[in-house]
Each structure stands twice: as C-alpha cells, then as structure tokens.
Structure 1
Amino acid sequence: MDMTNEFVLEAITREFPESVLLHSVPYGFLTLEVKKQDLKKIVHYLKDSSLAINFLTDICGIHYPEFPEKELGVIYHLHNMQTNFRIRLKVFMSREKNEVDTLTPLYAAANWMEREAYDFYGIKFKDHPDLRIILNDPEMGYHPMLKEYKLEDGTRTDKDDKMFGR
C-alpha cells in the first residue's frame, strides 16, 4: 500500500464523509480539522485499519482567544512507524464546551499528554482515568498557557504584546 497524503485523506473522507471540516498539507504534512465528537472514531479507524497509524507522537493544546467558537484546540500528531507516514488532527471548541474524548483507551501515551493539556489550557478529556494537575501548583487557580494576561508590565513603554505575537 502506498501511504500518500491523498490516499489517507481519501480513506478518511470515504469512511467519515461528514467529519473532516478542513484539510491542508503544510510542509507535506497531512493536517485535518475534524469534528470533535468524531475524533475518537477517526483515531480508532486510523489505528486499527490497514492504515496502521499506530503511534501517538504528541498531543498539545492551543488557545485562540480571538475566535470564541474555536477558542481552544487540541492537536494530535500520529505516525505509522512502518511507512513513516505522519498525520496531524485538530479539534476546536469554545471555552464553555471545552471537553473532548480521551484517547487513553487507544494509546497509553495519551494519559500524560492529556493531563498536560488539562493543566496548561483547562481542556477536559472525557473519561480520562486520572485527569488532574501534574506540573503546576494545584492551588494556582488558573491555566498558565491561556492568553489572558499581558506579557509585560503595563507601565513599560519600550515593549508591548505585539513583540510577542499578539
């Protein structure tokens, strides 16, 4: 089987015709934005089908405060070790509905990475076996990677948030 971006995209859209919202291939890396309610089914298919995308490389959170309906996101990097094929899946949600299914039943490695995304972004992973803060102080009371606070002292005139990509 020839694992190309086109082949994998066609296989996913054939199996889940309503699930893929956007697709692109930045730097040759197939990237799909999918409906969050379909994420677990899609990942299960990628893992257990002939595509054999059997390695979870990374899970990370992201925050886009300028897009209220898609303010929080989770990005998944998956890899077929035999063919060296990689795929990136993205799901987005509002702050009010910041929950997505856990992937721990499919990949044990998801456990720590989901806890980290919860810790830093407040993203909840439904049915996670031990979703709790692991890196920050549990009494901190906020999620430090959310872009809610100015990065510099407001009294400084030599710097502003534009210097930090905001």
Structure 2
Amino acid sequence: MVFSEIVSVLEEALGEDAFVSVNANAIQPFVEIEAFSLRKVCQVLFEDERLYFDYLACVTGIDNGPENGSMEVIYHFNSIPFGHGFILKVVVERGGEALPSVPTVSDLWRTADWHEREVFDLFGIRFEGHQDMRRILLPADWEGYPLRKDYQEQEYYHGIKVRYEDREDPAGPASQ
C-alpha cells in the first residue's frame, strides 16, 4: 500500500479534517496531526486490517528551538506482513514551566515504552498515560534535557565536574 492509499484509509475512518497537513512530496512523506488526535489515528493504524501497522520502529523528538517555540514527535510505523511504512508527526508547543506532552501509545505498541521514555529523558516531552514516565538514559536526579537547543549542562554532578569550558582533545597532544 502506498502513502496516498494509507492517507485515504485514515480519512475514511477519521474524516478529512483529521490532519493538520499531508506532505506527500517530502523525501519521506508524512502526515502531521494534533496531539489530541494521536490516540485515534494510532488505533486506526494498528487495528484497521487493511493497514495493520504492527511495528512502531522509532519515536523521535525534535527541538525546533526556543525562537520557534515548538517541538516535534515523529513516529515511524511499519506493517511487517504487508511491507508498507508510514510516518506521523505531532508538533507541540515548547511550553514555559510545564513540559510539552502528547498521549502515550505504549499500550498499542510495546516498543513505545522505551522510545517514549528516551524522548522524555532527552527532550522533556511527557507522554500522558505512560505507565512508567521516568528517565531511562540519565540518572533520575539529572538536571534538564540534554537534546534541547537551550540546554545548559550543569557544572557538577555529585561532585564530579561535567562541564568544561576549554575542552581538550581527549586523545591528548599526540593525536594533533
């Protein structure tokens, strides 16, 4: 099944206004949706027997920077039996004090469990309804979200200096 056919099945199930935009001309075509419709769209992707996206290959976070005021969550789906793929994008506001959030899909695809935790850990995007929304790569008491464009690394972590102003080549002068 090609991209336009997948979009047609989604429009049939959810209505033509289910999408913010459809970008069929991108190198990897994608559909952008609002965060509040993520669950409905994902249920159709998983449950519709014409689509049957049984594998969530990747969930990626993107920080568009404070000047743009938005972040993205990108989902890459595959149907192993049918051999087709689909990309879904959700754009959220960066927010001020409150972290941006989208609904979890970890109950539909088990792989989302760790993917969502990784996006949370590195970008600070929460996945509402996730059963274990805690850091997965960094220590629980780490400050901030390292892949945000405005991230300021802490100078010390438990007495260990982690920020160096003048970074030296770790291989030493012999490598120069």
TM range (shorter): 0.7 to 0.9
Residues 78 and 85, structure 2, Cα contact 8 Å, conserved in 1:
yes
Q: How far does residue 137 in structure 1 lie from its aligned partner after superposition?
A: 2.4
1:121: which partner in 2? 123
**Partner Cα separation in structure 2 for residue 73 and residue 23 of structure 1:** 15
1:110: which partner in 2? 112
**Partner Cα separation in structure 1 for residue 68 and residue 21 of structure 2:** 16
2:135: which partner in 1? 133
User: Is 42-51 or 9-18 further displaced after alignment?
Assistant: 9-18
**TM-score scaled to structure 2, two decimals?**
0.78
1:10: which partner in 2? 8
Residues 117 and 133, structure 2, Cα contact 8 Å, conserved in 1:
yes
Deviation track 1:30-64 (CA, whole Å, cap 9, x = no partner) reads: 31101110011101101100211111100011100
Q: How does 1:6-45 map to 2 (within 5 A)?
A: 6-16=4-14, 17-25=16-24, 26-27=26-27, 29-45=28-44
SS of residue matched to 1:18: helix
1:76: which partner in 2? 75
1:161: which partner in 2? none
Q: How does 1:53-68 map to 2 (within 5 A)?
A: 53-65=53-65, 66-68=67-69
SS of residue matched to 1:74: strand
Residues 55 and 77, structure 2, Cα contact 8 Å, conserved in 1:
yes
Aligned-residue sequence identity (percent) comes to 26
**Partner Cα separation in structure 1 for residue 45 and residue 147 of structure 2:** 30
Counterpart pick for 2:145 among 140, 143, 146: 143
Partner amino acid for 2:3? N
1:101: which partner in 2? 103
Deviation track 1:44-85 (CA, whole Å, cap 9, x = no partner) reads: 1011002111111000111001322xx111110000112211
**Partner Cα separation in structure 2 for residue 149 and residue 131 of structure 1:** 20
Q: How far does residue 140 in structure 1 lie from its aligned partner after superposition?
A: 2.1
SS of residue matched to 2:105: coil
Q: How far does residue 154 in structure 1 lie from its aligned partner after superposition?
A: 8.7
Q: How far does residue 139 in structure 1 lie from its aligned partner after superposition?
A: 2.1
Residues 30 and 86, structure 1, Cα contact 8 Å, conserved in 2:
no
Q: How far does residue 4 in structure 1 lie from its aligned partner after superposition?
A: 1.4
SS of residue matched to 2:142: coil
Deviation track 1:74-113 (CA, whole Å, cap 9, x = no partner) reads: 1100001122111110001112261111011101110000
